[in-house]
Amino acid sequence: MRKRTLIPIGLVAAWWLWPAPDAEQHRPGPQAAVLADGYAVIEPGERRITEFDSGGEKRAELAAKVPHDARVVGLPGGIAVVYRDGKQVVAAGVDNDGTLVRPQRFGKNVQKMCEQTATNDQRFGVAWTEADGGVWFVHGPTTRAAEEVSVEMARQPSYCGIASAGANIALLWRDGDKSFITWCGKKSGSCLYAKRIPLDKKRMLLGFGCKNDGCLIATRNPEKVLEVSWVTGNAKVAWTKPLPSACTDSEVSIVGTDDAIAVAYSMGPEPIVSLARKDGSLTAVWQSAADPNTVPSIVWSDGQLFAAYRRDGRLATAIIRR
């Protein structure tokens, strides 16, 4: 195990031993993040970051000098971005004029960024794969400093993703025909032993979101039906059911809340956000007009969901109160 405090921007890097998948994965549309006092949204194509207060009111707009696939996260001092730069990953704060400050570099031979970004009131995380059989992830508290931890895994995944899980961070990956999940806490050596999830290898993994005691995993079955499965903390599948009226090619955005897990998906020109619970219920809580096939990026903070999506070619946002 290794431990290192990173003072300038309070980031954490951890090394997980598995190599990189073959294909690049994409992250279209806006990506939302939780800040210590609000939200931020990055639009990859425009490289624009928009900052909002906790009530969803626009506070500032920055033209960030970052690659189109940069991820935005929240730090105690404000906004930061994590992105790939050649063979390394860079994490840097963003100044008021969009200038990157206090950049730090991670990794040795980065192959690709893992799916999703973990972000909530407590922690953030971004992961990537290395060529030598490892996955590093940068993570840490949204409101205070953090440290570096490491554990070992064994095999190469065809999919890897990272998600918030309450005060923890969850990692999901596919190793050949098998899918695994683990939860990582705040301290060195706190990652749990990886557990296998009984998911059919013919299902395409689309995304996931977690609470401390369970996750919702979205897959596309061989009949191209978009389904979600509730997976318990013991990696047991409690239930699997289709998302009502979902487009067959829809992507998803999933995030854990206090008592449920929210999932956003496309129904064509009207994306929807539903709440899933361990008892098998799926309850729609928001729907709005949007650009065709838009999937809102959703995050959870201070008892409410924040959604970022595109409508009439422009950024639109919504606060979804429970």
Q: Which residue has the tokens 């690659």?
A: 67
Q: Which of 162, 179, 129 is nearest to 16 (CA)?
A: 129
187 CB neighbour count, 10 Å cutoff: 11
Angle at Cα 154 formed by Cα 151 and Cα 155, nearest 5°? 135
At the topology level of CATH, where does 13-321 sit? Methylamine Dehydrogenase; Chain H (2.130.10)
Q: What is the pLDDT along the chain (322 residues), one digit of tens a residue?
A: 333 223 233 444 443 434 333 333 444 689 999 999 999 999 977 789 999 999 999 999 999 888 888 999 998 878 999 999 999 989 899 998 889 998 888 888 888 889 999 999 988 999 887 877 666 788 776 554 434 443 344 455 788 899 999 989 999 988 888 899 988 877 655 677 889 999 999 999 999 999 988 999 999 999 999 999 999 999 999 999 999 999 999 999 999 999 999 999 999 899 999 999 999 999 999 999 999 999 999 999 999 999 999 999 999 999 998 7
Instruction: Extract the runs of DSSP E, i.e. beta strands, from 142-251.
Output: 159-165, 168-175, 178-184, 195-197, 204-211, 214-220, 226-232, 237-242
**Total-model pTM:** 0.88
Which pair of structure tokens corresponds to residue 128? 């990537």
